[in-house]
Amino acid sequence: MAQLYSHFEQRELGATNTWRNNSTKSVYKVYLKRWVIPKWSDHLLSDIGTNEVELWLRGIPVARSTCAKIRNVMSVLFNHACRYEFFDRNPIKLVRQSASADRRKLC
């Protein structure tokens, strides 16, 4: 996962890539560096499954909308892996996560 993030950062989040605007790149970097990479960097892509990600997201003490954003950024990362043929599927697509709920509830 750490190698995938490095590749994603170079290709998608660099200054020369104009496909995404700078604010989107900044947000992706924050969510990846704050939540995704510390948890999953030592895992192989094949070891990251839907159920593990769901359980992890439910254990994070943040708002459900934040969990949904983390899930979405992880999905973008796995889509990048598929696009560059590093991996053949995106297990994050099946992660159940909703941002709509009572604001006082956590993931």
CATH of the domain at 43: 1.10.150.130
Tens-place pLDDT, residues 8-20: 999 999 999 999 9
Residue 100 lies in a domain: no
Angle between helices 64-83 and 22-31 (to 10 degrees): 100
**Contact partners, residue 34, CB within 8 Å, separation at least 6:** none
> CA–CA distance from 14 to each of 9, 47, 84 (Å)?
6, 28, 17
Mean pLDDT of successive 10-residue segments in the chain (107 residues)? 97 92 96 98 97 96 95 98 97 83 52
Whether residue 77 is contained in a domain is answered as: yes
Structural domain count, the chain:
1
pLDDT 10s digits, 34-48: 999 999 999 999 999
HSE of 18, CA atoms in CB hemisphere, 13 A: 0
Question: Token pair 């604001």 is at which residue?
Answer: 103
In a domain, 99, yes or no: no
pLDDT of residue 50: 97
Distance CA 60, CA 74 (A): 15
Which pLDDT belongs to residue 66? 95
Judge whether 92 and 32 are in contact, CB under 8 Å. Answer: no
